[in-house]
Amino acid sequence: MTETLGPRSRKVKILATLGPASSSPEMIRKLMLSGADAFRINMSHGDQASKAALVDAIRGLEDEFKRPTTILFDLQGPKLRVGQFADGAAQLENGATFILDRDPAPGNFKRVQLPHPELFDAITEGARLLVDDGKIRLKVIANERDRLVTEVQVGGRISNNKGVNVPDVLVPIPALTEKDRSDLQFAVSQGADWIALSFVQRPEDVAEARALIGDKAALLAKIEKPAALDQLNEIIALSDAVMVARGDLGVELPPEGVPPMQNRIIATARQFGKPVVVATQMLESMISSPTPTRAEVSDVANAIYDGADAVMLSAESAAGQFPCEAVQMMDRIGTTTERDPIYTARIHFTKTHLEPTTADALAGSARQIASTTSATAMLCYTSSGSTARRIARERPPVPLLAMTASKTIARRLGLLWGVHAVHTRDVSSFEEMVAKSRRMALRHKLAQGGDRLVLMAGVPFGTAGSTNVIHVVRLVGDELSSYKGTDDLAGQ
């Protein structure tokens, strides 16, 4: 029998995207052993049947390693695109006039269809249109109802169905397309732990998705539109987590504008106590190279220093030539960064303000107690995951073992900083909680004889939001070897 896969040596989580290079059960297993803590399934590519096979492979690892597996389904979102060209493409020259209109006839170097009628009412004179990830830049000089007259500021080759970004306009398009609704329903049917919502511009986008998802999955809002930054607090408040999606964000903002926005999003999510993922081009060169650039290593490290809960691999693990090496590199960067003597000071640079609740007060106190007593680990019982989130928000100096009787909650905690989740049988008394906490700390190699543990729980047990107990215990000898009871792991 394979040994239980215990906690990582780092607290930041690694989210690996699956794709052509990592779709086999064997490769997914290798990615998990390399350090992947959660897996992203991108609904922009492939069909639903192929995604179901990925889910089966990931859940199979859960049975093998006795470790909850975390799956994030990423919805495509609405994509603005130009129409088609008579020759498949056209060359646009700097300073030329180029028209986007409603006419479905094939385009040329003078015009092309923009098959999104709602844009013609929203786009105003002076607005920018960025085509093909910003490679071509157009400025609207006139809106004539059925056509947008633009000046080519940065020309180049434009081809069929290239994407269009409109950074200066709140685009009047819902965040969920018909495809997204179908994919969302499919993701829920597959037991998705997280669902990522693309193209979020306003709080209403999150509320719409939340109404469809209910409590069947946790909701992550991708911040990739500058318009979302105007209502960032409201969006984060309605979400379970957020992602700094630097792909489209980097197209619509000047490149130099992305780092401060990344820092702002991370800090705001930290203050709300919501997990935050940093994504896109983190180790981009490893798509075709076995080693990253030094700048990429610094990029990943800086996200970790800022306190991100997770860092994500996109094409590096989905379509690259070195998917395992990319995960291993990210694992080493995380481990090394967190060993830096200044790391603790850096992640606490962002001040998190405790809410005036018993649970928040205890979470803050537990972090201080763990530091003062030189505890080796913190443990908590949680039925909803809220206790684990509160503790993780405080970025304690030691790992957190979160025990829950809910397999669903155990899986969702896979994106949370410093948390190793365990699906375990529930407890019915304070004494049983203390005894099981001792055993689980030893089983998962978080402590040994003589070490102190800080425990948090709510009494009565099994009641969500009732965290009201902190308890410090010291392990005596090898308690695990003397334990003769039934296995603590649920379902094992």
Which residues are designated catalytic?
A: 40, 81, 222, 280
* H or E segment to which residue 106 belongs: none
Contacts for 459 with CB less than 8 Å, ≥ 6 apart:
430, 466, 468, 469
Residue 214 corresponds to which amino acid?
Answer: G
Find the angle CA(444)-CA(240)-CA(383) to the nearest 5 degrees: 45
- Residue 359: count of CB within 10 angstroms of its CB: 20
Strands (E) across 144-200 are located at 147-154, 156-159, 164-165, 194-197
In 314-466, DSSP assigns E strands to 377-381, 400-404, 419-423, 452-458
Q: Which two tokens stand for residue 348?
A: 């606490």
What are 173's two structure tokens?
A: 């398009």
> Using N-to-C axis directions, what is the helix angle for 323-339 and 294-305, rounded to 10°?
50
d(CA 317, CA 126): 40
Instruction: Please spell the DSSP secondary structure of 274-312, one letter per residue.
Output: --EEEESSTTGGGGT-SS--HHHHHHHHHHHHTT-SEEE
C-alpha–C-alpha distance, residues 26 and 23, integer Å: 8
- Edge-first strand order for the sheet with 419-423 is 419-423, 400-404, 377-381, 452-458, 467-474
